[in-house]
Amino acid sequence: MMLLLFAVLSLSGCVVKGEAEIMRNLTTVTWAHAVNNKTYLEAALSSEISMLEADIVLGQINGKSGPPIPIMAHPPAATSDLSLADFLTAVSQYNNVNSKQKGVKLDFKSIEAADPGVAPVPHTI
Ligand SMILES: *[C@@H]1O[C@H](CO)[C@@H](O)[C@H](O)[C@H]1NC(C)=O
Ligand SMILES: *[C@@H]1O[C@H](CO)[C@@H](O)[C@H](O)[C@H]1NC(C)=O
């Protein structure tokens, strides 16, 4: 839980940095939406797109079992080839070596995905 919190906090640093760059010229903001799988993430990172929008749910990596973890998917999907941790790693590695930073907007689709320590609640949010 602390690890996840840290990851989210350090990511919001990325968002601020990305936005500051974009604010210089709002007409240049371009979005990739539902960046919820590896193929699309790699395509978005190697494109000129400046903002990545992605969805997070608690679920499973394709073909794996075990307790649900935060993954990149849009409900009702609950499986993905991309975990939140892998997404964050890929974006921060990109931003570490590129002068043109990518911003990220994360859409937590449920309370549980934002905080696995919290008991499951109905998906009414
Ligand atoms: C903003 O971006 C557009 C499109 O790239 C460009 O034509 C324009 O000159 C830019 N404006 C400024 C103030 O940089
Ligand atoms: C990956 O995500 C993109 C954008 O949401 C979607 O168009 C594409 O079908 C997805 N590919 C796979 C293999 O799920």
The string of pLDDT tens digits covering residues 54-96 is: 999 999 999 999 999 999 999 999 999 999 999 999 999 999 9
Beta strands 103-108 and 69-72, pairing class: unpaired
What is the Å distance from ligand 1's center to 22 Cα?
11
Whether the CB of 34 sits within 6 Å of ligand 2: yes
22 burial level (CB within 10 Å; 0-12, 13-18, 19+): middle
For residue 12, pLDDT over 50 is answered with no
Other CB atoms within a 10 A radius of the CB of residue 109 amount to 19
pLDDT band at 114 (very low <50, low <70, confident <90, very high): low
Residue 3 vs residue 97, higher pLDDT? 97
Beta strands 103-108 and 51-61, pairing class: parallel
Q: In the prediction, which pLDDT does 9 show?
A: 45
For residue 43, pLDDT over 80 is answered with yes
Beta strands 51-61 and 31-32, pairing class: parallel
